[in-house]
Amino acid sequence: MANKRNYAKELNTLIETFTHEEKRPTLLLHACCAPCSSYCLEYLRQYFDVTVFYYNPNISFLEEYRHRVEELKRLVSTLNEEAKGSEMLNQIALLEGTYEPEKFFEATKGLEDCPEGGERCFICYELRLREAARLAAEGGYDFFTTTLTISPLKNAQKLNEIGSQLAEEYHVACLPSDFKKKGGYLRSIELSRQYDLYRQDYCGCVFSKRERDKRIVQES
């Protein structure tokens, strides 16, 4: 079996190629939530002009969707306020996509009983990354990527594979990533505490919530 690629190392190597350039590359960063975005933004804004893109049709409940997007807006606003006057850190932009849960249900029809981390999740990855790639191409960004690879529960190998495929389709580069590496996930927990961010305990879709609820019952 071939060794898995080290996407965290690939990202560092790529960054080294333009660290000393005067103009920073532009990055469209798909964000799933504020906690996952916290470390990603702390790290990436040092090297890129970042636009955060919140697009998550997998979130089945409008109240949950709004809660997460408002927390992300609060985080971005706070980070921008802290960076005022800095010559090293540019302001972070934020774009909110359309809330269209029907697209998620349509794409995952027939996979309702698929376990977490399986084919249904891969389709969900592709759905969100495709919209990010499309918007990045239309907006003339240098790169796109996602915060999803910071989660130990998400398949970083699959996310990068999907990103690479979409990069070829939309002719915009996908930034390799595995943000949980090198203490990234632990740092996101620290930052979540620092900024008092809402940390959800399920992915967002009704199916992950169902599994969460079942687990709570079993552990009680």
Residue 27 pLDDT greater than 70, yes or no: yes
State residue 1's pLDDT score.
43
State residue 194's pLDDT score.
98
Overall average pLDDT of the 70-79 stretch: 98
- Can you spell out the DSSP letters for 194-207? HTT----SS-SSHH
* Alpha helical stretches, state H, 19-155: 34-44, 62-82, 101-107, 119-139
CA quadruple 105, 111, 116, 117: dihedral sign: negative
* 0.85 surpassed by pTM: yes
Strand partners, 144: 28, 174
